[in-house]
């Protein structure tokens, strides 16, 4: 597999987003609207179409999800222990822990898998497994983030009903369930809905990557590097290595292991900043982790692709 052909387009589109932001052709609100459109419309449409028209592999996706969820918990334990040793205050500790486990699987991870699936040595099963795993993992990541960030402020009351509502109303989970339900019906997917969903889905990943690039601010990293670097090492180095060990031990197939490793090697999710800001964690530290991990993820993803494919 030509690694540059897979990682290169993702990096170039993100760089284009950074250039567009600096040129003032689009302001921050425009990119924020793009991200919202992608997350609430584009990606769900892509999930519904792909899971409804391709043969779903729920068993394989569950095995991948088990690996990713277990590694996420391990990264939380590692980062929380390190934060405790460093004596970080609650807001910084919560931001550090969230940044160390929560990968950008929706935008970066899915883009890498889609480009990899177009290579002659790969196949469409990468797409199917990636999409179904995405629908399972994102709600899990969100639920973990709520619990972690609630600890940033002792006055916050964590409502189980609120957490449950966040999970069951997640647009990616709902889209996955709709697509799976339709795939079980003895009916062809309506061509009108298929073409509409494909059109919406095709716009989602480029828009998402442009939004990530627009959020990169290299100057923000000059003030503090060591703490974001520690979280980035856990996210981009420890997580894939733990995933490789666990996936091998569980006997994942080659394709399942490839999907798991790519998703685990992704940078910290951009959504981590929004939740950190809303729930009283250190939003500035979260921003630094997102920027640094996004910059260095080109290397972690390239190495993962070279090793796994």
| Chain centre distance of CA 63 | 18
Q: How far apart are the first and last CA of the chain?
A: 7
Both tokens of 170, joined, read 């997640």
pLDDT at 40: 85
More reliable by pLDDT, 162 or 153: 162
Please answer whether residues 150 and 158 qualify as being in contact, where contact means their C-beta atoms are separated by less than 8 angstroms.
Answer: yes
Which H, E and C letters describe 189-218, residue by residue? CCHHHHHHHHHHHHHHHHHHHHHHHHCCCH
What residues make up the domain containing 178?
A: 3-308
pLDDT band at residue 146, thresholds of 50, 70 and 90? confident
Residues 6+ positions from 269 with CB-CB distance below 8 Å = 102, 103, 104, 105, 106, 141, 290
Both tokens of 61, joined, read 């996706």
What pLDDT, in 10s, does the model give residues 73-101? 999 999 999 999 999 998 999 999 999 99
Residues 6+ positions from 95 with CB-CB distance below 8 Å = 152, 276, 281, 282, 283, 285, 286, 289
Residue 221: count other Cβ atoms within 10 Å of its Cβ. 17
What pLDDT, in 10s, does the model give residues 155-170? 555 567 776 776 777 7
Q: Is the pLDDT of residue 205 over 70?
A: yes
If you average pLDDT over each of 52-56, 126-130, 301-305, which comes out highest? 301-305
Q: How many structural domains are present in the chain? A: 1
pLDDT at 237: 96
| Chain centre distance of CA 195 | 26
pLDDT at 120: 57
Q: Is the pLDDT of residue 229 over 70?
A: yes
H/E stretch holding 158: none
Query: ∠ at Cα 73 (69, 75), nearest 5°?
Result: 115
Both tokens of 102, joined, read 């929560």
CATH number for 11: 1.20.1530.20
Task: State the DSSP code for 30.
Answer: H
If you average pLDDT over each of 47-56, 120-129, 295-304, which comes out highest? 295-304
pLDDT at 65: 96
pLDDT at 201: 84
Q: What is the Cα gyration radius of the chain? A: 19
């Amino acid at each position: 597999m030509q690694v540059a052909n897979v990682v290169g387009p993702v990096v170039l589109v993100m760089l284009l987003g950074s250039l567009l932001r600096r040129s003032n052709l689009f302001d921050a609100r425009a990119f924020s609207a793009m991200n919202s459109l992608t997350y609430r419309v584009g990606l769900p449409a892509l999930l519904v179409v792909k899971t409804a028209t391709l043969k779903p592999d729920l068993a394989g996706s569950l095995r991948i999800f088990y690996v990713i969820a277990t590694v996420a918990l391990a990264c939380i334990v590692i980062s929380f222990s390190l934060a405790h040793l460093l004596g970080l205050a609650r807001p910084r500790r919560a931001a550090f822990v969230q940044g160390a486990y929560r990968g950008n699987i929706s935008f970066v991870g899915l883009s890498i898998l889609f480009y990899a699936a177009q290579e002659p040595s790969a196949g469409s099963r990468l797409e199917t497994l990636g999409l179904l795993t995405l629908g399972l993992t994102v709600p899990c990541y969100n639920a973990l983030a709520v619990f972690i960030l609630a600890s940033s402020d002792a006055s916050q009351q964590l409502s189980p009903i609120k957490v449950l509502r966040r999970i069951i109303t997640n647009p990616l989970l709902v889209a996955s369930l709709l697509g799976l339900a339709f795939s079980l019906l003895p009916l062809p997917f309506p061509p009108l809905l298929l073409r509409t969903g494909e059109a919406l889905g095709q716009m989602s990943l480029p828009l998402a990557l442009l939004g990530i690039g627009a959020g990169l601010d290299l100057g923000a990293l000059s003030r503090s590097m060591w703490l974001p670097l520690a979280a980035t090492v856990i996210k981009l180095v420890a997580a894939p290595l733990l995933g490789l060990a666990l996936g091998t031990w569980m006997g994942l197939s080659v394709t399942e292991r490839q999907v798991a490793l790519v998703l685990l090697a992704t940078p910290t999710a951009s959504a981590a900043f929004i939740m950190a800001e809303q729930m009283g964690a250190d939003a500035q530290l979260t921003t630094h982790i997102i920027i640094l991990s996004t910059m260095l993820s080109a290397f972690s993803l390239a190495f993962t692709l070279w090793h796994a494919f």
